Amino acid sequence: MKNLCLLASILPMFGFNHFGEDTMTSSKRIINQPLSSFTVEEKRESLSSVTLKETPYTLKNLKDELFKIKIKAGKRNSASFPQKRDSAMLNVVLINQNPELRYGCEVTSLAMVLQYAGVKTNKMDLYHSIQKDPDPIIRSPKGDILHWGNPADGFVGDMTGRRAGYAVFDIPMIALINQKLPGRALNLTKQPFERILEHVSSGHPVVVWTTGDYRLPDRPEGWYHGKKYIKTPLDLHAVVLVGYDAKYVYLNDPLSGRRQVRVSKEQFISSWKALQSRAVSYN
């Protein structure tokens, strides 16, 4: 912006440092002295065409003008982002994880999202492509899980259900999205839920982690992965957020095989936060 460049080039001419000190004289300040020979560019609707204003300006005037320019630029930038609508519903295809992928709710949900984005893929393609943590499950004589994999590194266990299987978290899912949509993966994990709704409002379904009944988890479990202790509920589930309104969210659930399931927004957000506010999508 020409206004910013002009102001930035003028301030050093009068010997001021970053704190407004007069570096040309130690006993005087010229903050309120008029710059009698100085004129500034007057802002017009088009920043590319400017005229000069003959009125003398003090340094305080210049700072006020700079502040106004920044505010105006900020308003222009914020206007480029669409506002969240009061409600939204996306026509996302429903895909069932069963019978092939008993524990494949994450990749099946992602298959729905990617197909909506126009990617030619399916749940089995994503099952073969997702990063997996190969650490086997080790149980105590009583059946308690002692050692297993880390879902932050890859899918833990056997997704098909032929052996014990668990889940995968956001980072391997983001890597998989980038395989199918290079450079377009978007990790919304730990973002405010309002940000998730904004993304749906803009036309993008989102994979979100919750529980099987969309309520708070009630099956705590933990095991060691090397020296790291993994503490996580077993009743974890992943679904696709396809819509919302003032009171409800709407989900495509790959396990129940139900499309646009209506769930209380307050109830769902509680379960989502209990699962560490995980969410992934694409731009």
> Does 199 lie in the same domain as 63?
no
What pTM value is reported for the model?
0.72
Neighbour count for residue 53 (Cβ, 10 Å): 12
Judge if 168 and 32 occupy the same domain: no
Give the number of C-alpha atoms closer than 13 A to the C-alpha of residue 110, restricted to the C-beta side.
33
* 62/100 same-domain check: no
pLDDT value at residue 232: 95
The answer to whether residue 61 is domain-embedded is: yes
Map 162-194 to HEC letters.
CCCECCCCHHHHHHHHHHHCCCCEEECCCCCHH
Residues of the chain predicted below pLDDT 70: 1-82
**What pLDDT is stored for residue 57 in this prediction?**
52
Q: Answer yes or no: do 58 and 156 share one domain.
A: no
Residues 6 or more apart in contact with residue 151 via CB below 8 angstroms: 133, 166, 167, 168, 169, 230, 232
The string of pLDDT tens digits covering residues 171-219 is 999 999 999 999 999 999 999 999 999 999 999 999 999 999 999 999 9
Within a domain: 46: yes
Domain stop point among 57, 78, 99: 78
Q: Nearest Cα to 127, choosing from 170, 173, 186?
A: 173
Q: Do 94 and 43 reside in the same domain of the chain?
A: no
Q: Could you tell me whether strands 220-225 and 228-233 are parallel, antiparallel, or unpaired per DSSP bridges?
A: antiparallel
What per-residue confidence (pLDDT) applies to 80?
Answer: 40
Please report the pLDDT score of residue 62 as a whole number: 61
Phi, psi of 172 (to 5 degrees): -65, -30
Q: Are residues 14 and 95 in the same domain?
A: no
Please tell me whether residues 34 and 104 are part of one structural domain: no
**Max CA distance (Å), the chain:** 90
In a domain, 236, yes or no: yes
In this structure, what token pair is assigned to residue 92? 């996302």
Token representation of residue 170 = 């956001």
The predicted pLDDT at position 49 comes to 43
Residue 43 vs residues 3, 66, 89: alpha-carbon distances, Å = 8, 11, 43
Number of domains in the chain: 2
For 157, counting Cβ atoms within 10 Å of its Cβ (0-12 exposed, 13-18 middle, 19+ buried), the class is buried
How many C-beta atoms lie closer than 10 Å to residue 8's C-beta? 10
Domain contains 148: yes
Which amino acid is residue 137, in one-letter code? I
Residues 71 and 98 in one domain: no
Q: What is the pLDDT of residue 83?
A: 84
Residues 112 and 244 in one domain: yes
* Pair (41, 107) in one structural domain: no
Domain ends where: 31, 53, 78?
78
- Three-state DSSP at 281 gives strand
Same domain, 34 and 118: no
Residue 278 lies in a domain: yes
Contact 165, 100 (CB under 8 A): no
CATH number of the CATH domain containing 206? 3.90.70.10
Which helix (H) or strand (E) is 140 found in, with range? none
Choosing from 30, 48, 78, the residue where a domain stops is 78
Residue 83 lies in a domain: no
Between CA 248 and CA 155 the distance in angstroms is 30
The pLDDT, as a whole number, for residue 72 is 54
Q: Take residue 76 and report the two structure tokens written for it.
A: 């222009």
**Cis peptide leading into residue 205 (ω within 30°):** no
Cα separation of 262 and 248, whole Å?
6
Q: At what angle do helices 193-201 and 265-274 cross, to 10 degrees?
A: 120
The answer to whether residue 215 sits within a structural domain is yes
On whether both 36 and 99 belong to a single domain, the answer is no
**Domain housing 40:** 2-78
pLDDT of res. 58: 61
If you ran DSSP here, which 8-state letter would residue 12 be given? G
